[in-house]
Amino acid sequence: MSDARFPGAPQRPQPHVQPQAQSKAGVKAGTDCPICGRPTEPATRPFCSKRCADIDLSRWLGGVYRIEGPESPATPGGSDADERS
């Protein structure tokens, strides 16, 4: 077989791609709520309900979850280096 744009050129094999399975609600199968493990709902994705979304928000606001960053060096007197002239 050859490509219609390039007659006589060998055709490259096409990669075989599996279609993703979907549940009745149209959400990809295998996506579970990170709080309770139930299947997610499109309106509250990635959670299954507003309740689980609120639980997750509460955990962020309460400091249960945090993203570590580089530690900033403590400055004496609490002033920034830019303010010293």
Q: How far is residue 55's CA from residue 12's CA, in Å, rounded to a whole number?
A: 50
Q: Is there a domain that residue 27 lies in?
A: no
pLDDT at position 20 is: 45
Residue-wise pLDDT tens digits, 16-37 = 544 444 444 444 555 899 999 9
Q: How far is residue 74's CA from residue 77's CA, in Å, rounded to a whole number?
A: 9
For residue 45, give its domain range.
39-64
pLDDT at position 70 is: 87
Report the amino acid identity of residue 63: G
Strand segments (E) across the chain: 2-3, 6-10
Question: Taking the model in full, what pTM does it have?
Answer: 0.47
Q: Is there a domain that residue 28 lies in?
A: no
CA dihedral 75, 77, 82, 85 (to 10 degrees): -130
Find, among 63, 56, 9, the residue nearest to 35 by Cα: 56
Mean pLDDT of 41-62: 94
Q: Is there a domain that residue 54 lies in?
A: yes
- Is 3's pLDDT higher than 70? no
